[in-house]
Amino acid sequence: MKKYILALLCAFFTVCSVGFVSRMNQKDVAPNREVMENTVVEIQNIQCALETPYGNIEEIADSSETIIWGSIKNRESFATLNGIIWTKETVNVLEILKGSYVDNEIYVYKMGGEVTVDEYVNSYSSDIADIKRAEYSQYNKDSMVKQLFSEKELSDIGTCEILFLRQISKFDQEDNAYEPIGDYMGIYTSDLSCELENNATSSNANPRSSAIGELYETSYNGYFGSFTYDALQSLIK
């Protein structure tokens, strides 16, 4: 357990060198009045010092073990030690842009998300948890705390994304567990819904059908700007 906790701490502080840089507390309710469950009562904006300052798409692509085009099937957020929130997304792989083999369904872990006040408080050591419990006592334990690690919100279920990934083992030991390279630098998102069946292919294949043609032509937005599928693919190669 101690090794696990230490690994989580190391993983966090290699990415984030600054703690809370801004906090928007929605504590404008009357004292001692409980907020309804599932209401976001606090948004924490956390500024990160990127582990590697990538200069362009090509650099991220070179550092990526795997690059996929996929759609978000579902997600769940959880709090790690000392209130750091991560989100586990189940992603349907539609195409593989880099990498020899990827499962049709993978797990992608992203920093940020929403957890209940109860889960957030209980992620701290017992002495700090008592302080936090008093601090959040005016809220229903099922009210939500939200963390943002970039200017963008996490994408909705059904969103189509191009993800620059590497395998990780700090949350589970599955071979199909990944995290984006450079955190939000490795995420390129479409505004279109992408709720399609798995269609994973080798990186050299390029199947096009009327059902997904529009998704190839739309723009995928990320840290370095907006790109079509073809433009990103050409930069990756």
Predicted structure pTM score: 0.80
- What is the distance between the alpha carbons of residues 158 and 221, in angstroms, rounded to a whole number? 16
28: pLDDT strictly greater than 70:
no
pLDDT score recorded for residue 36: 60
198 confidence band (pLDDT: 50, 70, 90)? very low
Q: Is the pLDDT higher at 118 or at 29?
A: 118
107: pLDDT strictly greater than 80:
yes
Kindly report the number of other CB atoms within 10 A of residue 230's CB atom: 11
Q: Which residue in 109, 232, 233, 107 sits closest to 180, CA to CA?
A: 109
124: pLDDT strictly greater than 80:
yes
List, for residues 32-79, the tens digit of each pLDDT value.
Answer: 445 566 799 999 998 766 667 799 999 999 999 999 999 999 999 999
- What is the distance between the alpha carbons of residues 82 and 165, in angstroms, rounded to a whole number? 26
Kindly report the number of other CB atoms within 10 A of residue 1's CB atom: 5
Q: Is the pLDDT higher at 218 or at 19?
A: 218
Is 165 in contact with 181 (CB distance < 8 Å)?
A: yes
The stretches of the chain forming alpha helices (DSSP H) are 2-13, 57-63, 117-122, 126-135, 213-217, 229-236
Phi, psi of 152 (to 5 degrees): -95, 145
- What is the distance between the alpha carbons of residues 226 and 210, in angstroms, rounded to a whole number? 23
Phi, psi of 213 (to 5 degrees): -55, -40
Task: Specify the residue for token string 């009327």.
Answer: 210
